[in-house]
Amino acid sequence: MAAVNLSSVLAIHPETGAQRVGGRWAAASADGRWHTFEDGEGVSEVGERIMDLVDGQRTVGGIIDVLVAEFDVERSICTEETLAFVTMLVEKQVLEHLV
């Protein structure tokens, strides 16, 4: 499969259960791992927002457009960090790379 890029469309992996629990995203992947979306300071608002925006239709570039509009972040930094984050989630089979 091709690498995740700005034109990639992502969805929740079909073998992963992901939902909001207590207002926060949590996912259980097929390998039995439990995933929450935190950084070194606690809940990652950006990570949680990315999960909100993954809908099987929106491109990664479209997700970045929303993040840049909603958060105080430079597009280049947002692009780099978002691509790294969603790539990691695809590798962990939390997300699936559709296109």
Q: Is 77 helix (H, G, I), strand (E, B) or coil?
A: helix
- Which pLDDT tens digit goes with each residue over 87-98? 999 999 999 999
Would you say residue 14 lies in a domain? yes
Would you say residue 58 lies in a domain? yes
Would you say residue 2 lies in a domain? no
Would you say residue 50 lies in a domain? yes
Q: What percent of the chain has pLDDT over 90?
A: 72
Mean pLDDT, rounded, for 12-31: 90
pLDDT at position 37:
80
| CATH code of 82's domain | 1.10.10.1150
Per DSSP, 9 falls in state B
Number of compact structural domains in the chain: 1
Would you say residue 39 lies in a domain? yes
Entry field: residues in the chain: 99
Per DSSP, 71 falls in state S
Residue 86's domain comprises 10-97
Would you say residue 18 lies in a domain? yes
Would you say residue 75 lies in a domain? yes
